[in-house]
Structure 1
Amino acid sequence: MSYFLLVLCALLIVWFARMILGHVKWWRYLWYLRTSLPGPPRHWLLGNIPTLGTGEVSVHNTIRYFKDYPDLYVLFFGPFRPGIVLTNIEYIRTILKSTEPKSPNYLFLFDWIGDGLLLSSGDKWFKRRKMLTPAFHFDILKSYVPVVNDVSHVLLDIWQEHADKGTSFNVFDYISLFTLDVLLRCAFSDHSSSCLAEKDNNPYVKAVHGISQIPRQRFRFLPYHINWIFKLSPMGRRFHQYVRVLHEYSEKAIGKRRKQLLEEGSASLSKKYVDFLDILLSAKDEDGNGLTDVEIREEVNTFMFEGHDTTASGLCWTLYCLAKYPEHQEKCRSEVKELLSNKDDVTWEDLNKLVYTSMCIKESMRMYPPVPLYSRQLSQDYTLDGYKLQKGSVVTVNVNGHHHNPRIWPDPEKFDPQRFSAENAKTHDSFAFIPFSAGPRNCIGQNFAMNEMKIAIAHIINRFRIEVDPLQKTERVVALILRAKYGILLKLSSL
């Protein structure tokens, strides 16, 4: 007995010593960040929270910091929570070329999307990425073009009422439903309801709309960062109600389709196109193992999250830029009119011919990146030109600041689609334009999103002339996606 107690005491002493040493190491690192790395002035208790600002102030501060700190800078959220923002393109390249996991802030999404492609790391992420890559092959994306055309026609018919009235309206409300409709039809080909027509009358649509707002609200209220406080709050209860609706819908669809495959085999897939769910059900790893129903649910919900508001943001800001700069809108329209002169729909072959339209979409995403921030948590120590970043640190790539960095983009506040002409694009660093991130953890669905935006824009400007509401207040809000605080108010007129 005495021997057992001796061993137990020794283990406790070792554990306690390691804990103390770990804390000492972290405190020394905090002191190093405070005294040796550059950054804006901070309050002793609140850190940089009072000076960061919100909305447009925050955006302008970010751009100013990129000018003031050419390599990196440190922000403190309170006295003990540092965040390192990279501004040097070589440092950004180093982190994005790695497979470092997402920062803990993304864990706010975990109960919804689980440990899928977005949140997983290490071998699990690598395996999942390899299994899902075929889902975004060109042959699969080609089959989705008619889906986007069909949903675009529904959108245009609804917008025709606004054009007839001659009144401005917030396009984000509709575009968000548009992208959700496209995703549902591409994920579940037997999905028959229309998000645009039903709006929030559909429980699934209501849940997706509701849940996508909550992580942003939770992030802004520090007490809700603590899980048990959040779960007991009205917002937390609402979040988990949405999660139940979304999980039940996905599980029901997965079970139904798996049963069809078992009973009917490949004959059950004899439909217009193979959807995302079909691909997940048939995916196999190197050992011939497929995904479980829970793993499929994780990837379906990740697909809905990553492709919904992000694409909607990109589309809305592109429409805003085309409305604000009518000369570029006219160039796009001439290109589209030539392609659609004798037909109603955009074809797969047309997508590569929408050259100027693509340039305008990319320039819009440079100025207004749909995902303005990427954060990673380091799994190892890094030394970047003498700056020491310790394992466990959260580093951020501020895409909005990066896309407005005058060292990379001359005259960055000017809307100039020619930056993305074939000739000029050759001179770009591959990590200069990163709306879909870059490196091995880049957005797996970026071609899907670009195709969707090109088709939607083509249909819209082929029928309508777009103008900015003269009373439009364009104040950006930086969150999970880049939003307009007061919406994006546009006015349409039929051609």
Structure 2
Amino acid sequence: MATLAEPRPEQAANGGLHLKHWREKLPDDALDHIPGEGGWPIVGNTLKMLADPYGFTRRMVATYGPIYKNWAFGGYGVILVGADANELVLFDRTKTFSSEQGWGPILDKLFPRGLMLLDFDHHRADRRALSIAFKPEPMRHYSGSLNRGIAETVKDWGDKPMQFYPAIKELTLELAAESFIGLPLGPEADKINQAFVDMVQASVAPIRAPLPFTQMRKGVKGREFLVDFFTRETHRRRAEGGGQDMFSQFATATHEDGSLMPVDQVVDHMNFLMMAAHDTITSSATSLIWLLAANPEWQVRLRDEIVSVTGESGNVDYDDLGKLELVEMAFKEALRLIPPVPSTPRRALKDFEFHGYHVPAGAQVAIQTQFVHHMEEHWPEPEKFDPMRFTPEQVKSRHKFAWVPFGGGAHMCLGLHFAYMQVKILMAQLLTRYSIEIEEGYKPDWQAWPIPKPKDGLKVTFKSL
């Protein structure tokens, strides 16, 4: 169903690359043979897609099949749908797809040179240098900080109605600051949080230029603030000789030849990873809390497992994290139902074939994680919350790329184990203290883009046990 075409003669001389930068456009007729639609004048289908990405994809697949073209964010893209599409693009055996050029139109002004926006040898070298921050000893250090920070905060959440999303966002930023930066944010906390909010919102702003009073302008200003903050901190860490926190690990990271990573690269990586560490975890933790509130029988099952591992304390030793198997399965199911990144863009560097259609080099392409996570061929009763889908037997019997909330292949999320650790510790601290309750009939409306969140903040009450 998915095959790679032979490079055309004019491609062979430069290793298969056809268009070297995402700003270079394909000829107007290059995608005429692929079914799809352009939508409204100027904005295309951008607003429809942002309003209901799952519903929009479902309609397009029903109309055009598992490959179609769609006009959004200023140009046509080719959408590939299915677990086999996920495997083709993410595993990328033949280096056909550029992550840098795929994310470029969306993130180039906001998170340039973040790890997700690098390709091939450059990506491999920086990933290797940065991976030191996720080795067992630093992770053990982070786990202690997470247990202390989460316990101190959630003890005050009991027996009062609250909006969970803003509360957990504030907490995850504080935790990221302690684990990643190694210091409390203090008076700059609100400015740092607002900078990340503005940058993430700008990533899907319809107006892509940083014109006065636009969301993109706010995002660019937020980046300027964070670049200044992290540049000062990088120089300070190097002068002081490092530490166990992630930022110190990055600031003193070296390449294979022993050279330090340039300061501007350290800053770009910290910008991107801090966003991922608190925005995506905020989203996924919120979806898990909502699903446990709506399925209270699973609260009981997770609580029983947590107590069997931690006793009544809720403090999870680093070496015991792997024992919280049901908690991990519930988290994976939440990531299936509401993945923090609903779709993933790439750009084709070589011609390829998918479901009988030839896609030329230079085409913007995307896979649809959220849609595949709800396909009945992989997930019977796909709207049902059922963590037992992630038993080893179930996982083994399913297509490996039917579940890809952390991406896959070379670009698999570097911090996925940190995400598992933080959510497990959060669940342990909450469920040993409280039951999660919502009003009868309550169901939040979710904003799908750029990172899913409940529009009303998720109204819950943590009732003391």
Range into which the TM-score falls when normalised by the shorter chain: 0.7 to 0.9
Greater Cα radius of gyration, structure 1 or 2? 1
Give the equivalent residue in structure 1 for 2:83. 89
Match of 2:184 among 165, 186, 192: 192
Give the equivalent residue in structure 2 for 1:182. 175
Is the contact made by 1:67 and 1:405 (CA closer than 8 Å) also made in structure 2? no
CA deviations 1:343-388 (Å, max 9, x no partner) are 4511112211111111111111101111111111122221224311
2:55 is equivalent to residue 60 of structure 1:
yes
- CA distance in 2: counterparts of 1:250 and 1:50, whole angstroms: 33
Distance verdict in 2 for CA 1:282–1:415, change over 3 Å: same
Is the contact made by 1:108 and 1:215 (CA closer than 8 Å) also made in structure 2? no
- CA distance in 1: counterparts of 2:256 and 2:103, whole angstroms: 32
How far is the alpha carbon of 1:394 from its aligned partner?
Answer: 1.4
- CA distance in 1: counterparts of 2:312 and 2:86, whole angstroms: 46
2:164 is equivalent to residue 171 of structure 1:
yes
Distance verdict in 2 for CA 1:435–1:104, change over 3 Å: closer
Give the equivalent residue in structure 2 for 1:288. 258
Query: Which one-letter code corresponds to 1:27 in the other structure?
Result: D
Give the 3-state SS of the residue equivalent to 1:52 in structure 2: helix
- CA distance in 2: counterparts of 1:120 and 1:403, whole angstroms: 26
Match of 2:338 among 368, 374, 378: 368
Distance verdict in 2 for CA 1:409–1:68, change over 3 Å: farther
- CA distance in 2: counterparts of 1:171 and 1:398, whole angstroms: 28
Distance verdict in 2 for CA 1:342–1:53, change over 3 Å: closer
- Normalised to the residue count of structure 1, the TM-score between the two structures is 0.82
2:450 is equivalent to residue 480 of structure 1:
yes
Is the contact made by 2:201 and 2:219 (CA closer than 8 Å) also made in structure 1? no
How far is the alpha carbon of 1:65 from its aligned partner?
Answer: 4.0
How far is the alpha carbon of 1:419 from its aligned partner?
Answer: 0.4
Identity %: 23
Is the contact made by 2:199 and 2:223 (CA closer than 8 Å) also made in structure 1? no
Distance verdict in 2 for CA 1:326–1:479, change over 3 Å: same
Give the equivalent residue in structure 1 for 2:423. 453
Match of 1:358 among 328, 340, 344: 328
Give the equivalent residue in structure 1 for 2:277. 307
5 Å-filtered alignment, 1:327-342, equals 327-341=297-311
After superposition, the CA RMSD in angstroms is: 2.7
Is the contact made by 1:374 and 1:397 (CA closer than 8 Å) also made in structure 2? yes
Distance verdict in 2 for CA 1:419–1:479, change over 3 Å: same
5 Å-filtered alignment, 1:460-479, equals 460-470=430-440, 472-479=442-449
Give the 3-state SS of the residue equivalent to 1:469 in structure 2: coil
How far is the alpha carbon of 1:149 from its aligned partner?
Answer: 0.6
Match of 1:207 among 186, 192, 204: 192
5 Å-filtered alignment, 1:36-435, equals 37=35, 39=36, 43=39, 45=41, 49=45, 52=48, 55=51, 57-66=52-61, 70-77=65-72, 81-98=75-92, 100-103=98-101, 105-160=103-158, 163=159, 165=160, 167=161, 169-189=162-182, 191-193=183-185, 202-217=187-202, 219-221=204-206, 224-225=207-208, 227=209, 230-261=210-241, 269=243, 274-341=244-311, 343-435=313-405
- CA distance in 2: counterparts of 1:45 and 1:445, whole angstroms: 40
Unaligned runs of 5+ in 1: 1-17, 195-201, 262-267
- CA distance in 1: counterparts of 2:360 and 2:257, whole angstroms: 37
- CA distance in 1: counterparts of 2:214 and 2:165, whole angstroms: 26
- Normalised to the residue count of structure 2, the TM-score between the two structures is 0.86
Distance verdict in 2 for CA 1:484–1:24, change over 3 Å: closer
Query: Which one-letter code corresponds to 2:382 in the other structure?
Result: P
How far is the alpha carbon of 1:107 from its aligned partner?
Answer: 4.9
Query: Which one-letter code corresponds to 2:32 in the other structure?
Result: W
Query: Which one-letter code corresponds to 1:49 in the other structure?
Result: N
Is the contact made by 2:307 and 2:314 (CA closer than 8 Å) also made in structure 1? no
Is the contact made by 2:314 and 2:428 (CA closer than 8 Å) also made in structure 1? no
Is the contact made by 1:419 and 1:425 (CA closer than 8 Å) also made in structure 2? yes
- CA distance in 2: counterparts of 1:439 and 1:467, whole angstroms: 39
- CA distance in 1: counterparts of 2:188 and 2:260, whole angstroms: 30
Name whichever structure is richer in helix by fraction.
1
Distance verdict in 2 for CA 1:338–1:108, change over 3 Å: same
- CA distance in 2: counterparts of 1:25 and 1:254, whole angstroms: 40
Give the equivalent residue in structure 1 for 2:27. 26
How far is the alpha carbon of 1:46 from its aligned partner?
Answer: 5.9
- CA distance in 2: counterparts of 1:411 and 1:342, whole angstroms: 35
- The count of corresponding residues between Structure 1 and Structure 2 is 440
How far is the alpha carbon of 1:75 from its aligned partner?
Answer: 1.5
Moved more, 438-447 or 284-293: 284-293
- Following superposition, which runs of at least 4 residues in structure 1 exceed 6 angstroms of deviation? none
Is the contact made by 2:337 and 2:383 (CA closer than 8 Å) also made in structure 1? yes
Give the 3-state SS of the residue equivalent to 2:422 in structure 1: helix
How far is the alpha carbon of 1:45 from its aligned partner?
Answer: 3.9
Query: Which one-letter code corresponds to 2:390 in the other structure?
Result: F
5 Å-filtered alignment, 1:3-14, equals none
CA deviations 1:302-361 (Å, max 9, x no partner) are 210111110110000000000000111110111112223254511112211111111111
Distance verdict in 2 for CA 1:337–1:70, change over 3 Å: farther
Query: Which one-letter code corresponds to 2:197 in the other structure?
Result: S
Query: Which one-letter code corresponds to 1:192 in the other structure?
Result: P
Query: Which one-letter code corresponds to 1:241 in the other structure?
Result: K
Query: Which one-letter code corresponds to 1:92 in the other structure?
Result: N
Moved more, 456-465 or 62-71: 62-71
Distance verdict in 2 for CA 1:430–1:327, change over 3 Å: same
Unaligned runs of 5+ in 2: 1-18
- CA distance in 1: counterparts of 2:152 and 2:221, whole angstroms: 30
Query: Which one-letter code corresponds to 2:226 in the other structure?
Result: L
Give the equivalent residue in structure 2 for 1:5. none
How far is the alpha carbon of 1:449 from its aligned partner?
Answer: 0.6
- CA distance in 2: counterparts of 1:62 and 1:394, whole angstroms: 17
Distance verdict in 2 for CA 1:286–1:193, change over 3 Å: closer
